[in-house]
Structure 1
Amino acid sequence: MLRGYLPAIVFLVLGGAVGVLFSVLNTLVGVKSKPIQSKNDPYECGIPSEIQSRFRFGISFYLIAMLFILFDIEVLFLYPVAMNLREYGTFALIEISVFVVLLFVAFIYVWRRGALEWR
């Protein structure tokens, strides 16, 4: 029983040991610098951020993000079937066609409701 898990256990132990070793080496050998204010300021894409920490995103940002994740994950389910379509046969092709049509209908519904409009 243990022999089946032995390579995975060895891999996890060695990976953890390498992580701990690198952290210890970084603490011992790494350059130690004094903290300065400019290192603690928010910084993104090469431009210092001027946005307040309490900046609020509009609801449309979250709505579009959730819709993107929803449709992205649904399309991801097509990949395994597409890779083995010959093995699954005609039934899988019909089922995937129905899935894509329903996905398209849902997209049209969301689009017509104005959920993709940036406000």
Structure 2
Amino acid sequence: MEIYLKLLLMLIFSLLIPLGMILLQKLLSPKLTDYGDKLKPYESGEVPITDAWIRYPIRFYIVAFLFLLFDIETAFIFPFAVVFKRLGLFAIIETFIFIFILLIGWLYLYRKKAYKWE
């Protein structure tokens, strides 16, 4: 029971200390009412020409997704390549199944023309 009391006290203090710091900052900080130029985006000391919130085409997100997909593939294949000689036949078959599934995904994206930039 004593260990639960210590855990409860630690939980209470871990919540009270950050909340107290936030409250103290709100009470002691100077109050700014005129934000003016502070809310404008900073562009290397230059006056902003256009709005900083531009919309990126969905194409960039598809390319980023493809990069992550094949980056994760590399993260899974690299450890296999390091210990290739020590693995048994079952692990080698599993790796080829993994590569085959990735190949199916690559062919699907190729047929959907995800690799063509237009």
Deviations 1:59-80 (A, max 9, x none): 312322343444455666x38x
Equivalenced residue count is 110
Q: Aligned partners of 2:74, 2:9: CA distance in 1, in Å?
A: 37
Q: How does 1:59-70 map to 2 (within 5 A)?
A: 59-70=58-69
Spell out structure 1 runs of 4+ moving beyond 4 A. Answer: 1-4, 43-49, 69-76
Match of 2:51 in 1: 51
Q: How does 1:84-99 map to 2 (within 5 A)?
A: 90=88, 91-99=90-98
Deviations 1:8-54 (A, max 9, x none): x555433222220110121123343343222112347877472365x
Match of 1:114 in 2: 113
* TM-score, normalisation: structure 2: 0.55
The structure-2 alpha-carbon separation of the partners of 1:22 and 1:75, relative to structure 1 and needing over 3 Å to count, comes to: farther
Gaps spanning 5+ residues in structure 1: where?
Answer: none
Q: Aligned partners of 1:10, 1:95: CA distance in 2, in Å?
A: 49
* Structure ID, larger Rg: 2
Gaps spanning 5+ residues in structure 2: where?
Answer: none
* CA deviation after TM superposition for structure 1 residue 95, in Å: 0.9
Question: Which amino acid in the other structure matches residue 97 of structure 2?
Answer: V
